[in-house]
Amino acid sequence: MDGVTEIRRGTLQEQTFYEQVGGEETFRRLVHRFYVGVADDPLLRPMYPEEDLGPAEERLTLFLMQYWGGPTTYSQNRGHPRLRMRHVPFKVDRAAHDAWLKHMRDAVDELGLSEEHEQTLWKYMTYAAASMINSEG
């Protein structure tokens, strides 16, 4: 098999992106590395009122795992993602967008994904970051 498909109960099924890139462990590494950057970022850190970034890290991890075909724990715990609505209380301008992407770029780069997987993941991250902008300057 080519690593993208496998036999399950006698049928040929495509693996999800989540499975292809290494499942939960990969997404936990990605998000943990992202929040290492956020922890010291003067623009982004104030958007997380909790002293401990752990709960935010867990929410993003569960969201991304679900989005890419993993367990649906995020929706079971929090309902529909409603990302724009959940970010309304925060001023997300171009500077916040750029800072978010900087830390996410560092995190994606450290995963060591194949070029195809990296491009797929990055395309989504840039789309998601742009869609969260809710403020000019």
For 32-71, the pLDDT digits (tens) are: 999 999 999 999 999 888 788 999 999 999 999 999 999 9
Closest CA to 117 of 51, 9, 18: 18
Give the ranges where 1-137 is alpha helix by DSSP (H): 17-20, 24-39, 54-67, 73-78, 83-87, 94-111, 115-131
What pLDDT sits at residue 2?
46
**Mean pLDDT (the chain, rounded):** 86
Q: Which amino acid is at 27?
A: F
In this prediction the pTM is 0.82
Residue 133 pLDDT exceeds 50: yes
Q: Is the pLDDT reported for residue 1 higher than 50? A: no
Better pLDDT: 81 or 135: 135
pLDDT of residue 111: 97
Domain 15-131: which CATH class? mainly alpha
- Distance between terminal CA atoms of the chain? 50
pLDDT tens figures, 64-94: 999 999 999 887 677 665 555 555 566 789 9
Question: Count of CB atoms within 10 A of residue 75's CB?
Answer: 13
